[in-house]
Amino acid sequence: MRVLVTGGSGRLGGSVLDELADAGNETVCVDTQQSGGRSGHGVFPADLTDPGDCYSTIAHFRPDAVVHLAAIPAPFLRSEIETFRTNSALAFNVCQAAHDLGVGTVLVASSPTVMGYGNPGGWRPEYLPFDEEHPVAPWNSYTLSKTSAEQIVRGFASRGSGVFHSFRPCFVVAPEDWRGAPIQDGSTIHNRLNKPELAAASLFNYVDARDAAEFVRMLLEQGGNIPNGQTFFVTGPDALAREPLSELLPRHTPVPAATASGLTGTKPAFDYGKAQRLLGWHPRRSWHTELS
């Protein structure tokens, strides 16, 4: 297939481009950044928040599939209005242009933050670990924009033309991060393990970028064989923590001990069972095996 990857210069994008290319696909990286990212893939510069630029780019390459990763990647990096405007426009423009131009498959990256953790007004999960049936609880412009993106995907899926799915990659750990490179917040993976309050902000979730890229490839290959409009958690096999979450979550977050009680051993707060059932995917890399 020819696969157009938006935001391919980002933390997940390089691994996705590598995985798809290694599987024999022709890849096109579209980004506002001029760099090819970690993998050195060439970049076609385009502003996909502009509908004309979005249509023109997809019409130019005529891809068989689009993997949409482009976004303001975290809360509070830009103003609330700019974050929502950018992320929502990106998701809608890509889905609309792909639908109108006959692209067969569109996969859109969402975020586990749609579950609502970190809300200063108060938050408690209904149960743990999270699965895709747990209600979302967005509270800032980033989480609202990602919830909107998931709804956009379901809306286009309901039209019956083309394959549309969304997925929620947990905190993406690129290969160089295991060797001590700074991560998104400027700390390191070692810092997060040694200071649980850092990883507690995201409920100790993570996923190796290569595992997430393998998920994307498998969803591209099998997405037409499952019910349309699905959403998936994409997470590591364990928690990014040295102690059980049954102990850490009540200590560092508003999660009650009773809710966290089942997260013994290395169990994470997010469940990838749906991806395993529908696609046969499971994460193969853990911080226990990858951390230098």
Q: What is the pLDDT along the chain (292 residues), one digit of tens a residue?
A: 999 999 999 989 999 999 999 999 999 999 997 654 445 678 999 999 999 999 999 999 999 999 999 999 999 999 999 999 999 999 999 999 999 999 999 999 999 999 999 999 999 999 999 999 999 999 999 999 999 999 999 999 999 999 999 999 999 999 999 999 998 778 899 999 999 999 999 999 999 999 999 999 999 999 999 999 999 999 999 999 999 999 999 999 999 999 999 999 999 999 999 999 999 999 999 999 999 7
At residue 292, the pLDDT reads 75
At residue 34, the pLDDT reads 64
For 190-202, b where at least 16 C-beta lie within 10 A, e where not — what string? eebbeebebbbeb
Tokens of 12: 């997940």
At residue 41, the pLDDT reads 75
Task: Return the domain boundaries, the chain.
Answer: 2-174+207-236+270-285
User: 2-174+207-236+270-285 adopts what CATH topology?
Assistant: Rossmann fold (3.40.50)
At residue 257, the pLDDT reads 98
Strands 207-208 and 172-173, sheet pairing: parallel
At residue 36, the pLDDT reads 46
d(CA 157, CA 85): 22
At residue 87, the pLDDT reads 98
Q: What is the pTM of this model?
A: 0.96
What sign does the CA torsion over 222, 147, 73, 202 have? negative
Smallest Cα–Cα separation from 71: which of 121, 18, 2, 141? 141
Q: Count CB neighbours of 45 within 10 A.
A: 12
At residue 184, the pLDDT reads 79
At residue 186, the pLDDT reads 83
Q: Which amino acid is it at 96?
A: Q
